[in-house]
Amino acid sequence: MATKEIITKGNALLSKKCHLVTKFDKKLWEMLDNMKETLIASNGVGLAAPQLGIIRRVALVLDVTLEEEGKEPVIYELINPEIIEKSDETIIDVEGCLSVPGIYGKVERPAKAKVRAQDRNGKIYEVEGKEITARCFCHELDHLDGHLFTEKVIEFIYPEDDE
């Protein structure tokens, strides 16, 4: 495993529509492992393949809401993911992105979202997320279509620099 460089806003690769994954091979597993190491090293809750310059429909989401239920947080490996259900209820909260350092803004997202994806062996599964996890599913899936959260911000937040 190795950490990889995260590309930032302005890089044209972040605007590309990503390709479907068709091969569930060692190369994909290596990429997933590198993404996982990069996500953990950056203290993020989600990472999409295009953020490493890889134009494939692959994303990771760290589900921290499981901690509230006394469970260990899990990193979901989402390959060719689709959102199949969204709650009508939405939450407006502050969002950021590892590819848009230092910029935060309020974005409206569904309170709950269900995703259908493939795992690293190509097996289809479904996973439901709430609050920050639902937010993260939407944010990461947007990356796979070349969209950044900054396109959806209703109010930018400028944290006071108190250091």
Q: Is 140 a catalytic residue?
A: yes
Q: Which stretch binds Co ion (CB under 5 A): 16-24, 58-66, 93-101, 115-123?
A: 93-101
Taking the CA atoms of 15, 20, 23 and 26 in sequence, report the sign of the dihedral they define: positive
Nearer to Co ion, 24 or 103 (CB): 103
Q: Which residue is nearest to Co ion (CB)?
A: 97
Task: Tell me if 35 contacts Co ion by CB under 5 A.
Answer: no
Task: Tell me if 28 contacts Co ion by CB under 5 A.
Answer: no
Q: What's the min distance (Å) between Cβ of 139 and Co ion?
A: 5
* 23: Cβ contacts below 8 Å, ≥ 6 apart: none
Nearer to Co ion, 31 or 97 (CB): 97
Task: Tell me if 97 contacts Co ion by CB under 5 A.
Answer: yes
Q: How far apart (Å, rounded) are the C-alpha atoms in residues 144 and 63? A: 19
- Which residue in the list 37, 89, 140, 151 is annotated as catalytic? 140
Instruction: To the nearest 10°, report the CA torsion of 32, 37, 42, 44.
Output: 50
User: Token pair 């390959």 is at which residue?
Assistant: 79
Query: Rg (Cα) of the chain, in Å, rounded?
Result: 15
Task: Tell me if 62 contacts Co ion by CB under 5 A.
Answer: no
CA angle 130, 28, 72 (to 5 degrees): 35
What are the catalytic residues?
A: 140
Q: Which residues bind Co ion (CB under 5 A)?
A: 97
